[in-house]
Structure 1
């Protein structure tokens, strides 16, 4: 039951974020963002009343309701924030700026638990959530003062773009890639502590090992974003899955018994999973943006709702699959399955790369020579000419 309650926000984000993105043309961005932060702070403040509720059923019901509000507010905030980003920066630099936003997201995820633990220890349960609600309400003022109240594209354009968007193969490839990359982090969170028990590590040492994938993901993000903007993201995604496949096999180890598990080998595996996740998630944004650029700006709001949905799905099912495989098949075998999924994506992406290479080569060879010469003239003609 605890796992279900904890996973409710991710499930709500997975469902709600695409709906919010599809309907952003109805509500100005700033208004939606203000509503999201207000609901988020209100939901967090609501946790302070939990000790006052008597009865197990009522307690669980209130928890689920508050977590649903968390998820809905999170879906609105993440979707609108991404819509601001995707409309504010050139598509050629989108991955780089998205990577920097992920740096701050990762930093918040890293310092949040220690701060929460400190507040809980010195102020108690209720005051901790009230203070968190106050912190969440602080952005409302600068958003109201400084953010532009822009809106999305019209309904007709959005409908056409949506019907075309869902038919793109790279939409599904980036969706699966992003989901699997986030799923890998969730699977580690639910199983790594148990997997490390034979080493008799201290809680601090275990905590540091937990931070390795997230820290590497955060640090490598801007570098991966810069590479994506320069050379394209598809090769990076393929390399990322190679690293994640190797990383899971090292941590397992898998195949079981191939070598004796050691801490330094596990650390290498965690480094590979963190770097692989960065090489998958960050470039996926630029790849999908480039693949949908011909649809025009009307597709931006739809994309802004899809990315949070992909990540939320991975965050929701990752711990479930990780703990499930661990209990039924064993943690090492479970890691082997996740590594196998990454290896399968390497195979699929390699096939797609081969297909696209020969497809575009065939298209180029079938293009009339006069069209190629005209394209060459257009490329060599300066945009600004001097008199």
Structure 2
């Protein structure tokens, strides 16, 4: 019942499509945010996002179909679900990924200030991570769907992120001076 690591899907890969859309959001968000900031300052990006979210919420209320509870599913054991190794691995992978994105968004811009770039150009610099993510996710999704290496891909991705953080400065063991 709680097979959280099952990713086999013979139909269209909805998770891959969702992750690709998320990657495009990582591209569009900083770019559009930088452009809106240039147009009218600090508040315009936040006001725009707020209005878009309210409009999306209203549209969602009308577009989502009604759902029926499946009485046969039962309630399950929530503690067993949260302590399942697959759930813990998925949670750690998601946490590491979100921390990575948040860390980069919070710390990269102060390092780029020295170049006196416009807010729009600063926003487009963040396109690199989002673009790479959006381009590679369908391939990884296809690979995981066609083979049973979900855990291997998750752990490998976290390890690669860890190694990448070793090269982010200022790392005291790196001999480069800035």
TM-score where L is the length of structure 2: 0.69
Partner in structure 2 of residue 133 of structure 1: 51
1:174 maps onto 2:96 in alignment: no
Structure 1 unpaired stretches of 5+: 1-89, 263-387
Matches within 5 A, 1:1-387: 91-93=7-9, 96-115=13-32, 121=39, 129=47, 133=51, 136-137=54-55, 140-141=58-59, 144=62, 147-154=64-71, 157-158=74-75, 160-196=76-112, 200-204=114-118, 206-232=122-148, 233-252=150-169, 254=171, 256-260=172-176
8 A Cα contact 2:109 2:122, kept in partner:
yes
Q: CA RMSD in A?
A: 3.8
* Deviation, structure 1 residue 183: 0.7
Count of residue pairs the alignment pairs up? 167
8 A Cα contact 1:253 1:261, kept in partner:
no
Judging changes above 3 Å, is the alpha-carbon distance between structure 1 residues 119 and 217 closer, same or farther for their aligned structure 2 residues?
closer
Higher Cα Rg, which structure? 1
Aligned residue for 2:138, secondary structure, equals helix
- Select the structure that is richer in helix: 1
Partner Cα distance (1:99, 1:114) in 2 = 23
Structure 2 unpaired stretches of 5+: 1-5
8 A Cα contact 1:95 1:228, kept in partner:
no
Partner Cα distance (1:163, 1:95) in 2 = 31
Moved over 6 A (4+): none
8 A Cα contact 2:27 2:126, kept in partner:
no
8 A Cα contact 1:103 1:219, kept in partner:
yes
Structure with bigger RCO (C-alpha 8 Å, 6+ apart): 2
8 A Cα contact 2:81 2:87, kept in partner:
yes
TM-score where L is the length of structure 1: 0.36
